[in-house]
Chains A and B, each alone.
Chain A
Amino acid sequence: MTVQSSSELIERSLVRGMMPRTKPGRSYNYVLRGVALLFTAVLALFVWSVLHQSWPAWSTYGLHIITGNNWAPAANDFGALPLILATVLTAGVALLFAVPIGIGTALTLNFLVPRRLAGPLTTTVELLAAVPSVVYGLWGLNVIVPWMSTTAQPWLASITNGGWPFSGNAIGLGIATASVVLAVMVLPTIVAISRDVIGTVPRDLVEGALSLGATRSQVLTRVVIPNAKVGLLGAVSLGAGRALGETIAVAMVIGSSPSMPHSLFSLGSTLASTIATQYTDAPQMHMAALGALAVILMVMTASVNALARALVNRGTKGAS
C-alpha cells in the first residue's frame, strides 16, 4: 500500500517537473554526475583500504586464514575457519526461524488481521526494526542467556538425550543463544519488507482466484507468494545480511570463544564480533588479520546478495 502511494507521488511530481520541459542545465548535469562519481569513488576507496589493511595477513598466511582452524592471536596463528563457521551457523539458524515466522506474520497482517488492527501492528513491527542492536544484546544477556541455561537448553538436550546437535556444556551463552537473539533481531526487517511486497500483489489476482473457488490457503500459496517471490527473496537477503554482520548483540551472548562449533551449544565467535572485541589493541599483524576477517565478511555478504539476485533472475525468467 505505502509502496503504491509513494510511487504515485513520485510519478505525479515527475509529471509536474516535466511541464516546462527545458534542456537540463549543464551545471546540473555535472553536479549529478559528480555526486554519482563521488559515491563510486568512496566505495572503491573503502574496499581498497580494507584490502590494503589486510594485505600483510594475506601475503604472510595466504589461504590459511580461511582454512586454518586455530584463532590464537597471542601465538600469531590466524585461522578463521571457526569464526566463518560460527557466522554461517548463527545466521543460518536465525533465518531458519525468522523466515517462516516473518513471512507468515506479513501474510497475516495483509490478509487476516482487520484493517483497524493491522495499522498499529505494522507500526510496532517497523519500530522494532529501528531498535539499536546493543539493546537486543542487553536483553539477550540478561533475559535469554539465563532462560536458555535453566530452561531451553536442558529441554533441548533431553530431546536428543545429550546427543548432537544439542550436546556439550549448556551454559546459556553460545551459538544457539546468539541464533535466537539474531532471529528476533532480523524478524522485524523481514516482516516489514515482506508486508510491503505482499501488499503490491494486485488485488484483482487475489479476488479472481477467490471467485474461481480457490481456498484461502490456495490463494496464499499459489497466487500471493509466487507473485511476491522476488520481493520476499529481497527481504530474506536483507535479513541474512543483518544476521551475518551483526556485531555487538552477538558478541555479548555468543561467549566470545573462537573455538570450532561442534554443536548448537558450542561457544563461538563470529567474524564481526571478533573484529569488535579485538581491534582496540591489536599489533600490526593481528590488525591485518582482523582486516582479512572484514574482507571475508564482505565477500560473504556480497555473495548472499549475488545469490539472491541470481535466484530472482531465474525466477523471473521461469515466469515469463
Chain B
Amino acid sequence: MKKQMTVRGTLAAAVATAGLMASFVVPAVAAAKSVTLDPILANDTKISAAATVATAGATFDTPFFNAAFPVYSARNSKATIGAYGAGGSGAGQAAIMQNLVDFGASDVPMKQSDIDKKDYSTKGTLADYVQVPVALGGVAIAFHNTAITGNKLYAKNHFNVTSTILAKIYTKAITTWNDPAICAANPKWVGTGKLSKTCSLPAVNIVVNGRSDSSGTTYIFSDYLHAAAPTIFTASASKSSLVTSGNGFVGASGNQGVATNLENTNNSIGYVEYSYVLLNKSLESAFVVNQSGAAVDVTPASIAAAAATKPNVSSTDFSIVNASGMTAYPISGYSWVMLRKVQTSSLAQAELTVKLIDWLAHNAPGTGVTFGQDVAASQGYVALPVQAQNVTRNALKTVTYNGAVVLK
C-alpha cells in the first residue's frame, strides 16, 4: 500500500502533464498509432462556443473530479468548469433537482422516491433525468490501531475482517479489538503453542466511525452488510447515517471528515472511499473476507474483479456488493452522475455537459490520449469496464437540446 502511494502520486502528476501536452500533440499521436479514436471521443473536447458548467455531489468522486476537470479544461479552451461542490450524494441529487448544477453526482442512482421526498418546483419526474456510471471504486475498511500496525506480525500478516465481524461491529455486538470472532478471522495473530493459544490483538475498545451526513458511501457499505450478513445487519441499504443516539459511534461529514477522525483517533475503525486511504497516508485498510472465503485487499484489481461479475449495470440494477470470486473485493460500487434529459440553457452548455461526462466516463487504450478514466485510475479508482462505458455512451445519446441529440 505504502509503495503504491508514491507511485500513484507521480502517476497523477504524469497524467496531468500528459493531459496538458496531449492538447498539442493529439494529431501526431493519433496518426502514429494504429488504433484510432472513435469519432465521438475525438470530438469530446470540441464545443461550438464558450460555456461554463457547474457540478456538485458525492464526496466519493471528489479526488477523481478535482484531478480530471483541469485535464479536460486544458484540452478544451472554450470550457470553464466550476469547482466541484463536494457536499455528498444527497446534495448532488438536490442540486440537480433544483437546476443549480449541470450535473450532480451520487453514489446511488436517484429513484422516483428520492424525487417524491422533495418539494422543489423544478424537480420533475425520474424520466426527466439521465443517469450514468462515471466512476468505479471500493469502500475501504480503514482502521487506526498502533498496537496492530506497530506489531511485527502486521508486516507479514494483514488484518482481516469478515462481513459478520463488520455487521456485528456496526450493531454493537462486537466492541473490543480482541473479540473471539476477530481473533478467529486472524489466525496468525493467535499463539500456536500447545498452552498459549492467546490472541495477541489488543484488548481495547473499538472506536466505531461513520458518516453523520446522508452518504452514498454509507449506502454501499450498508448494502454490503445487509447483503452479506442479513441476519445480523437487518436494516436494508440506506444513505442514512449509521450513527444514532443508541450506539455512540463517531460521526463526521464527508469521506475526508471520517478519514481525519480516523487519523486522529487510535483504536478506531471506519469506512471511506478507497482513494481516501491513499490520500491519508497514516490510514491502513483491512482485508475483507469475501463470499468465496478469500481475504482480499482493496485494490484497483480486486474492485475490477468485483465489477466484472456484473458487466451490465443500469440505474435501476446497480449493486455489485458481496461479489463472489477469489479475487473480488466485496464492498465495491459505481458512482453515478445525473443530468437533465432535455437541456435548455444553450447549445454550447448542453454540448459541454454531455461531452464532459462522455470524456470522464471513457478511456481509449492504445491511442495515447488521456481520458477521464485514465485520470480516475491514477487517483485510486478503477477504470470503468467497457460495458459500463457503453451504458454511459448510450444513455448520453438520449440527451437533447432544442429537439436534437447533443452527442453525435
Contacts and interface: CB of A to CB of B under 8 A. Distances in A.
Interface stretch (B125-133, B261-269, B366-374): B261-269
Contacts of B246: 70, 72, 259
Nearest to B218: A74
B245 A74 contact: no
Nearest to B95: A280
Nearest to B91: A280
Given A256-B252, A281-B214, A74 B235 contact: yes
Contact of B264 (A72, A74, A141, A278): A141
A277 B245 contact: no
Given A149-B264, A257-B251, A74 B244 contact: yes
A255 interface: yes
Interface in A276-320: 277-278, 280-284
Interface stretch (B82-90, B152-160, B192-200): B82-90
Given A74-B235, A171-B207, A280 B88 contact: yes
Nearest to B246: A70
A281 B89 contact: yes
B202 to A, nearest CB: 14
Interface in A232-270: 251-252, 255-260, 266-267, 269
Nearest to B113: A283
Interface string A68-80: 0111111100010
Interface in B224-257: 235, 238-253, 257
A169 B268 CA distance: 11
Contact of A169 (B93, B205, B213): B205
B241 A259 contact: no
B205 A257 contact: no
A73 B242 CA distance: 10
Contacts of B240: 73-74
A82 interface: yes
A256 B212 contact: yes
Contact of B241 (A69, A73, A146): A73
A281 B94 contact: yes
Given A269-B251, A281-B88, A82 B245 contact: yes
B250 A257 contact: yes
Most chain B beta-carbon neighbours within 10 Å: one of A72, A252, A255, A258: A255
Contacts of A258: 243-245
A281 B90 contact: yes
Interface residues of A, number: 35
A171 B208 CA distance: 11
A281 B251 contact: no
Contacts of B2: none
Interface string B71-83: 0000000000000
Most chain B beta-carbon neighbours within 10 Å: one of A145, A277, A283: A277
Contacts of A79: 245
B3 interface: no
Nearest to B244: A72
A149 B267 CA distance: 12
A283 B239 CA distance: 11
B260 interface: yes
A171 B268 contact: yes
A82 B242 CA distance: 17
A224 interface: no
B90 A277 contact: no
Interface string A59-92: 0000000000111111100010010000000000
B157 to A, nearest CB: 26
Contact of A70 (B88, B205, B244, B267): B244
Contacts of B264: 141, 145-146, 149, 171-173
B253 A277 contact: yes
Given A79-B245, A171-B207, A258-B245, A281 B250 contact: no
Given A172-B264, A277-B213, A282-B214, 18 more contacts: A75-B244, A141-B260, A149-B264, A169-B207, A171-B264, A173-B264, A173-B265, A256-B250, A257-B251, A258-B243, A258-B245, A259-B247, A269-B212, A278-B212, A278-B213, A280-B94, A280-B213, A283-B117
Q: 9 closest Cβ contacts across the A-B interface?
A: A281-B90, A256-B251, A281-B214, A74-B240, A256-B212, A72-B244, A283-B117, A280-B91, A259-B248
Interface of B: 87-91, 93-94, 117, 119, 205, 207, 212-214, 235, 238-253, 257, 260-261, 264-268
